[in-house]
């Protein structure tokens, strides 16, 4: 459901471990070996045992890297990636990561995969991303497991395989305590993709991901309280609380922004505040429009922007644009998009009215366990005239 871009930003902790106990004496002497140059470079990079100096760090890590120290190549890649101590250069970052990986650095292999996955410093290539992620896992780095799951969930460069995605997420959970693979697996259980649909299991996973501090896990937990899903009683106040937490953890969680805005607008679970609701919708729309301009939206983003256009929330209402975006997301097996697009076909908004098409979409969404789709199907069935009438 969501990929991780947690590449070398995670190395701050690793650096602290490398430097642990090195003390202020670390910066007192010129390095005599590649290892000493590497450790001294990290000291300057993080201000551990030396005054922080990214340019000095870059110089020393370059020295260690030139002597074939694989970890130095990886950290050097990060400095190029982040533009610290040198000019930002994704292509050079990729070169450094690749060199480190070829020297046996497993985390660097993951980093190369991330850059191919997101098209940074190189043309986006999901097949190469998968190849490098698999190399990273083979070399002993499990961080790639979640992203491999995403590749199979979305069918990026491979045939879509929800069961394989679920397997990768489960494996990732064994070593990744960020809550991200847990939230991704939760979504598969909610929809019954690659696993038997199990809302109780999904609820447990949502709680686990939320407790780990993952924004998407908090959002999914809020969804349970918002809609019940037959597992918990609907509780708008709890839903509001968890949407708020999801946004606090990640201000770019556009789904949480939109859902919270809806509750605030209607005064459900919180005091009605139309001004704040408009602010929340506006924040979501601003983010989504920026991502759309950069061609950087995933399927949930596409669906959410479609819903905003459909309802005229944060953007000027545009039924045609809404139907176009919702159709794109629905075609990619997004159940919420299917339900929203069904409303377009029922009302003729942005598409020619077609009740049969609407029912088809609602059935597909209902099969994935979406309560609003189930409820609307029941309503439509009840509205059908009895035989002979």
Domain boundaries, the chain: 1-135
Mean pLDDT to the nearest integer, 95-124? 96
Mean pLDDT to the nearest integer, 168-192? 97
Fold observed for domain 1-135:
1.25.40
Of 19-23, 109-113, 125-129, 236-240, least confident by mean pLDDT is 19-23
Mean pLDDT of the chain: 91
Residue 236 C-beta-side C-alpha neighbours within 13 Å? 14
pLDDT of residue 381: 81
pLDDT of residue 19: 41
Mean pLDDT to the nearest integer, 344-363? 97
pLDDT tens digits, one per residue of 120-139: 999 999 999 999 999 999 99
Mean pLDDT to the nearest integer, 83-89? 96
Mean pLDDT to the nearest integer, 72-79? 96
pLDDT of residue 384: 63
Quick check: 15 pLDDT over 50?
no
pLDDT of residue 1: 60
Query: 299-311 vs 274-293: helix axis angle to the nearest 10?
Result: 130
pLDDT tens digits, one per residue of 228-259: 888 899 999 999 999 999 999 999 999 999 99
Output DSSP code: residue 21.
Answer: T
pLDDT of residue 22: 42
Percent of the chain with pLDDT over 90: 86
Yes or no: say if 12 and 39 are a contact pair by the CB < 8 Å rule. Answer: no
pLDDT of residue 3: 64
Yes or no: say if 126 and 158 are a contact pair by the CB < 8 Å rule. Answer: yes
The two three-digit tokens of residue 2, written as one number: 């969501």
Distance, CA of 263 to CA of 300 (rounded, Å): 20
Distance, CA of 145 to CA of 92 (rounded, Å): 25
Percent of the chain with pLDDT over 70: 91
Length of the chain: 389
Distance, CA of 295 to CA of 125 (rounded, Å): 15
Burial of 297 (0-12, 13-18, 19+ CB in 10 A): buried
DSSP string, 33-62: SHHHHHHHHHHHHHTSSS---HHHHHHHHH
């Amino acid at each position: 459901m969501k990929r991780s871009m947690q590449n070398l930003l995670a190395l701050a902790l690793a650096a602290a471990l490398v430097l642990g106990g090195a003390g202020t004496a670390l910066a007192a002497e010129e390095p005599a070996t590649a290892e000493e140059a590497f450790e001294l470079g990290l000291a300057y990079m993080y201000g551990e045992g030396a005054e922080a100096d990214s340019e000095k760090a870059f110089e020393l890590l370059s020295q260690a890297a030139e002597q074939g120290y694989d970890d130095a190549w990886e950290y050097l890649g990060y400095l190029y990636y982040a533009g610290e101590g040198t000019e930002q250069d994704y292509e050079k970052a990729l070169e450094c990561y690749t060199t480190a990986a070829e020297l046996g650095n497993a985390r660097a292999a993951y980093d190369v995969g991330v850059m191919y996955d997101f098209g940074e410093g190189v043309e986006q290539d999901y097949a190469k991303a998968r190849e490098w992620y698999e190399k990273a896992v083979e070399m002993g780095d499990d961080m790639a497991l979640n992203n491999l799951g995403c590749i199979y969930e979305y069918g990026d460069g491979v045939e879509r395989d929800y069961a394989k995605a679920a397997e990768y997420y489960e494996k990732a959970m064994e070593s990744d305590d960020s809550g991200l693979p847990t939230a991704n697996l939760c979504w598969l259980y909610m929809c019954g993709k690659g696993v038997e649909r199990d809302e109780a299991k999904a609820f447990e996973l949502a709680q686990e991901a939320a407790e780990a501090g993952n924004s998407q896990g908090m959002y999914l937990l809020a969804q349970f309280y918002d809609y019940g899903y037959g597992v918990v009683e609907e509780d708008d106040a709890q839903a509001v609380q968890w949407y708020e937490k999801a946004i606090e953890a990640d201000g770019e969680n556009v789904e949480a922004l939109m859902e919270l805005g809806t509750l605030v607008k209607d005064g459900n679970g919180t005091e009605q505040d139309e001004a704040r609701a408009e602010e929340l919708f506006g924040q979501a729309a601003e983010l989504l429009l920026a991502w759309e301009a950069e061609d950087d939206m995933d399927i949930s983003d596409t669906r959410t922007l479609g819903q905003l256009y459909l309802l005229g929330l944060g953007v000027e209402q545009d039924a045609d644009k809404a139907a176009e975006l919702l159709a794109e997301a629905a075609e990619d097996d997004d159940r919420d998009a299917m339900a929203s697009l069904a409303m377009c076909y029922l009302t003729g908004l942005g598409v020619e009215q077609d009740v049969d098409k609407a029912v088809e979409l609602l059935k597909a969404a209902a099969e994935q366990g979406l309560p609003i789709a189930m409820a609307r199907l029941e309503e439509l069935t009840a509205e059908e005239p009895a035989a002979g009438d």
